[in-house]
Chains A and B, each alone.
Chain A
Amino acid sequence: MPNGVNKGAVTAFWGKVKVDEVGAESLGRLLVVYPWTQRFFESFGDLSTAEAVFGNAKVKAHGKKVLDSFSEGLNHLDDLKGAFASLSELHCDKLHVDPENFKLLGNVLVVVLARHFGKEFTPELQAEFQKVVTGVANALAHRYH
């Protein structure tokens, strides 16, 4: 489990998160802010502008999928490597995603949570989520090691 994550605080907060919205926004922002990540989504169509990305139904759908996996991972904080083993295989062995991109998406998610929750996203809560996103990124990158 990520070092001393306050499971209670994380899951209580996560219950308030609109996973569809936050997932779509996080993936969308990743594609806009770090444009090289678009290379993994060439089949999604036009990603050339922020407007195109945020109007793209495939981006929304995939963002939801990504965050649903992340949500599921929160139920397995004791064994993230196990929980993400097949996704790690997919992303590393088949999609050849540089593990650095998992960290980027994790940090984008943190920024999106701050934007949605404002004051409630305290430094302490941010700290818990930084541990979680690092744990998830490491679990996804596990196949590289």
Chain B
Amino acid sequence: MVLAPADRAAVLALWRKLGTNVGIYTTEALERTFVAFPSSKAYFLHLNLSPGSAQVRAHGQKVADALTLAVNHLDDLPRTLSALRELHTHKLRVDPVFFKLLCHCQLVTLARHYPGDFSPNMHASLVKFLNHVISALAPSSG
């Protein structure tokens, strides 16, 4: 319902290919976000942000788990992600711009590691998927 069948199939196929390595790529996406957009570190001052940090890796894995949950519940993202929305919006008060930066860096990471799979159509499907995740996490981001 949220994603057209072709987009859904593309994202699911990629996720199957990533297998248990999703955490590696979400961690790299986080690292890229910190380096390219340093103001994003403001949300993580309680963590050791040096390269290779175990704490960043742990957070990367949490992000990976949430994205995998989203991939498996595409018909019901708002409800599936409601607790995370509560946390990020009301408790952590994350500016939705940060999610867009992280998603951009996620695309960069996937393009870098899977150049052959990252076709224009895959790129488009991923953008739609990530935009739906952002909408579910930060509804006021429009």
- Our pick among B36, B107, B111, B120 for the contact of A32 (Cβ within 8 Å) is B120
Q: Which residues of B contact A114 (CB under 8 A)?
A: 108-109, 111-112
A34-B112 Cα distance, complex, nearest whole Å: 21
If over half of A's interface residues share one DSSP class (helix, strand or loop), that class is named, otherwise mixed; here it is helix
Task: Say yes or no: is B74 at the interface (Cβ < 8 Å to chain A).
Answer: no
Complex Cα distance, B116 from A115, in Å, reads 8
Q: Do B120 and A126 touch across chains, with their CB atoms under 8 A apart?
A: no
Q: How far is the CA of A53 from the CA of B108 in the complex (A)?
A: 22
A interface residues, how many (CB within 8 angstroms): 24
Known A118-B112, A126-B36; judge A107-B120 contact (CB<8 A): no
List residues of chain A with CB within 8 A of the CB of B36: 123, 126-127, 130
Find chain B residues with CB under 8 A from A130 CB: 36-37
Residue of A nearest to B121 (CB): A50
Contact A28 B112 (CB under 8 A): no
Tally of chain B residues near chain A (CB < 8 A): 22
A32/B124 in contact, CB under 8 A: yes
Give the dominant DSSP class at B's interface.
helix
Q: Is the beta-carbon distance between B111 and A126 smaller than 8 angstroms?
A: no
Q: In the complex, A116→B115 CA distance in Å?
A: 7
A115 and B120 alpha carbons, distance in the complex (Å): 11
Contacts of B32 in A (CB 8 A): 123, 126
A33 to B127, CA, bound (A): 7
CB-CB contacts below 8 Å: A86-135 with B? 107, 110-112, 114-119, 121, 123-124, 126-127, 130
Residues from chain A with Cβ under 8 Å of B123 in the complex: 29, 32-33, 111
Residue of B nearest to A28 (CB): B120
Contact of A29 among B112, B115, B120 (CB under 8 A): B120
Complex: how many Å from CA A110 to CA B36? 11
In contact, A126 and B35 (Cβ under 8 angstroms): yes
- A116 and B108 alpha carbons, distance in the complex (Å): 11
CB-based nearest B residue for A25? B120
CA distance A116 to B113 in the complex (A): 10
How far apart are the CA atoms of A126 and B37 in the complex, in Å?
Answer: 10
Partner of B111, one of A28, A111, A119, A123: A111
Residues of B within 8 A of A (CB): 28, 31-32, 35-37, 104-105, 107-109, 111-113, 115, 118-121, 123-124, 127
A contact residues vs B (CB 8 Å cutoff): 28-29, 32-34, 50, 53-54, 107, 110-112, 114-119, 121, 123-124, 126-127, 130
